[in-house]
Structure 1
Amino acid sequence: MTAHDLLATLKAHANPANVAGMARYGINPKGTLGVSILNAVHLTD
């Protein structure tokens, strides 16, 4: 998997609700996809 493929996959799994949740806790959401760690781990399988 190339870096381009990985970024495309991460963008496909983006979760705007997670990004909004991060912003509520003061985390800067700029450039954030909101992909959970659990989903990210499964992308490596």
Structure 2
Amino acid sequence: MTPQMRHHLAHAGWLAAVLAALGGVFMLYAHPAFLVTLVDQVWSCF
């Protein structure tokens, strides 16, 4: 594997991770009731 290929794979991996994180945040905001339930459960720990 050439260094240029490794560089492109690293960039593709970072791009996939960022897109997955953004997609996850979008899904949480698309279902606000789930987000409220999740926050309530976390807050009940305190």
Please identify the structure whose Cα radius of gyration is greater: 2
TM-score band, normalised by shorter chain: 0.3 to 0.5
* TM-score normalised by L of structure 2: 0.40
* TM-score normalised by L of structure 1: 0.40
Identify which of structures 1 and 2 has the higher relative contact order when contacts are C-alpha pairs closer than 8 Å and 6+ apart: 1
Higher relative helix content: 2
